[in-house]
Amino acid sequence: MRHLLVINPNTSPGVTALLQHHVQAAAGPHVAVRTATARFGAPYIACEASYAVAAHATLDAWAHDLAQPPSHDESRPDAVLIGCFGDPGLMALRESSPVPVTGLAEASFTAAARHGRFAIVTGGERWGPMLQRLAQALGHSQALAGIHTVAPTGAQLLADPDGARALLAQACRDAVRQTQVQAVILGGAGLAGMAAAVQPQVPVPVIDSVAAGVAWALHAHSVPPVRKAAGFDVAWAGVSAEMAALGV
C-alpha cells in the first residue's frame, strides 16, 4: 500500500478535513492518506504575508509529522502533497525530502498544459500576481493565458457552496470566452470537488486542483528523489524542535 502525506499550510481544521475526504476519494482504497495541519499562520492563505508564513509552516508540519512514531497502520510517506493552490514552501520542501513533493498548483499546471493553453479561476483577488509569479517559476508562463480571481476568498467560497458553484461556473465561462483556452483550472483546497459540479456548464475541461495533485502523487515513484534522507542543510535558530533536529 502506498502512503501519501497531505500538508495543509492553512491552520483551518475544516480545510484539512476537506482535503482528507477528497484526496482519499481520488486516491482510492489502496492508498493510505493522512493529513497534517499547519501549527501556525493564517486560517486561510489569501495574501503575500500569509503565503510567506505558510512556507515556513509547511516545512514545520512536515518535520513534525516525521518526528511522530508511526502507528501500526502507518508508514513513512511515499510522496508529499502541499494542499494549497499556491504551493508555499514547494522548492524548499522538495530540496529537503527523500520522497517526491508537489503542490496543488504545480500538479494542476502540468495537467492543464496537456490540453494546451489554460486559464486559472480561483478565489481571492490578491492571488493573481502570486500565481503568475509561481507559473513563471515553474515554467508554465507561456501556457498560462489568464488568471481570473473572484472577489470572495477560498474560505468564503467554501462557506457558501451553492453560491460558489454559480459564481465559479460563470468565471470559468468568462475565462474561456476571453482567452480561448483549452482548459480551465479551478484552483484551491476549499474548492475541492467543485470542478465536477461546474463542468457541465463549461465547454472545456475543468481541472480540479486537488484531483490533479493526487494524480501526480500516485505516479511520483518515477521521479528521482533529491536526497536519500530527510534533512535541512542549515543549522536552525529559533525554529521548532522538530525542524532543528533535521538541521545540520
User: How do residues 1-24 score in pLDDT, each as one tens digit?
Assistant: 889 999 999 999 999 999 999 999
Section 210-221 average pLDDT: 90
Q: Does one domain contain both 57 and 110?
A: no
**pLDDT reading at 51 higher than 90:** yes
Higher pLDDT, 146 or 70: 146
CATH code of the domain containing 94: 3.40.50.12500
Q: Distance between the two ends of the chain, CA-based, in angstroms?
A: 32
Q: Does one domain contain both 172 and 228?
A: no
Residue 221, pLDDT score: 65
Q: Does one domain contain both 12 and 64?
A: yes
For cell 496543488, name the residue: 104
Residue 73, pLDDT score: 61
43 CB burial (10 A radius; 0-12, 13-18, 19+): middle
Q: Does one domain contain both 39 and 121?
A: no
Beta strand 101-103 with 79-82: parallel, antiparallel or unpaired? parallel
- In angstroms, the CA 74 to CA 79 distance is 14
Q: Report residue 117 as a C-alpha cell.
A: 493553453
Q: Does one domain contain both 30 and 149?
A: no
Q: Does one domain contain both 150 and 199?
A: yes
Q: Does one domain contain both 84 and 29?
A: yes
- In angstroms, the CA 145 to CA 99 distance is 32
144-179 residue pLDDT tens: 999 998 887 777 877 888 888 889 999 999 999 999
pLDDT band of 72, cuts 50, 70, 90: low
Contact 103, 84 (CB under 8 A): yes
Contact 232, 246 (CB under 8 A): yes
- Domain span at residue 149 reads 105-209
pLDDT band of 69, cuts 50, 70, 90: confident
Q: Does one domain contain both 119 and 176?
A: yes
- In angstroms, the CA 240 to CA 120 distance is 35
Strands across the sheet containing 144-150: 144-150, 118-123, 183-187, 206-208
Beta strand 101-103 with 118-123: parallel, antiparallel or unpaired? unpaired
Q: Which of 89, 147, 84 is nearest to 121 (CA)?
A: 147
174-199 residue pLDDT tens: 999 999 999 999 999 988 999 999 99
Q: Which residues in 151-163 are b (16+ Cβ under 10 Å) and which e?
A: ebbbbbbbeeeee
Mean pLDDT score of the chain = 93
Residue 74, pLDDT score: 67
Contact 158, 14 (CB under 8 A): yes
Residue 222, pLDDT score: 58
- The model carries a pTM of 0.94
Q: Does one domain contain both 153 and 222?
A: no
Q: Number of folded domains in the chain?
A: 2
What DSSP state is assigned to residue 199? G
The alpha carbon dihedral of 81, 87, 88, 93 has a sign of positive
Q: Does one domain contain both 18 and 97?
A: yes
